Amino acid sequence: MVTDSDAGDGNRRSHWQEDDGAAAKIKDRTGGKPDARVRDENHSKDKDEKFHVSRRTLMIGSVCAGIVLIGVFLYWLHARNFESTDDAYTTTHVHEISARVAGTVESVNVDDNQLVKAGQTLVVLDQRDFKVALEQARAQVLQRRAATAQARANLDHAQSDYDRITKLSHEKVVSKQELDNATAALRTGRGAIDAASSDLAAAEAALHNAELQLSYATVVAPADGVIGKKTVETGMRIQPGQALMAVVERNVWVLGNF
């Protein structure tokens, strides 16, 4: 008769036999070393992971080193052409505006902080006296030109008389006194033309100066900029060189002490 105890023992033996069979199959497939293959696979995976990590670290390091080198190179390029300092300031051109002639201010055409262009009229002086002087200078030039023309005509006449009398003197037709008189007249005519030419040159110079004086009665901006420090007003009597205002250019640059 079979008891429950015997049946249980039989079942346990059956399980042991199955386990032994499975182990035997594993042993057959792995060459009797079931754990060695697993360890080899794990070791290979570890090596691959370490290789990938090392390669990634190397690539990151190379990229960082390249960035640093590029930064150093760019800084070198900048430092080669530029210098730095903490002692610097900005500046620009400031044109002090004044008149070149004395006169009474007839009009002021600008105000403080107004933008102006080069050549723009800023101040106009009373031009009546300058225009009178200009007309007088023109009249003087006309007179000097007429005097020069007359002196030229006199010289031409004296030259003609001298040539004629010199020819006659060779033929013994005229006296020595007549030849001397012709020579003196020629010398006087040459002196007169020289004096007339000098007077004409002086008159023309005076005319040019009168034209300049009239032009100076109009004060213009020397450059593009902004009006500042305006002190001039209509009706003021001003002198040459007196400060009227300033034109501040808008171009600003930095000056530094290195």
> What is the pTM (predicted TM-score) of this model?
0.59
Looking at CATH, the fold of the domain delimited by 89-126+217-258 is given as OB fold (Dihydrolipoamide Acetyltransferase, E2P) (2.40.50)
Over the stretch 110-149, which tens digit does the pLDDT of each residue have?
Answer: 999 999 999 999 999 999 999 999 999 999 999 999 999 9
* pLDDT per residue as tens digits for the range 165-218: 999 988 888 889 999 999 999 999 999 999 999 999 999 999 999 999 999 999
Residue 68: the pLDDT is 84
Between CA 188 and CA 158 the distance in angstroms is: 9
Residue 10: in which H helix or E strand, if any?
A: helix 4-30
Higher pLDDT, 63 or 222: 222
CA distances from 45 to 34, 50, 98, 106, 151 (A): 18, 9, 91, 100, 123
pLDDT of residue 61: 77
- pLDDT, tens digit, 9 for 90 and up, residues 37-86: 555 555 555 555 555 657 777 788 778 888 888 877 677 666 666 556 66
- Mean model confidence pLDDT for the chain: 81
Q: Count CB atoms within 10 A of the CB of residue 183.
A: 15
Q: Which is higher by pLDDT, 34 or 68?
A: 68
Confidence of residue 87 (pLDDT cuts 50, 70, 90): low
For residue 3, pLDDT beyond 60: no
Q: How confident is the model at residue 221 (pLDDT cuts 50, 70, 90)?
A: very high
**Which fold does the domain 127-216 belong to in CATH?**
Helix Hairpins (1.10.287)
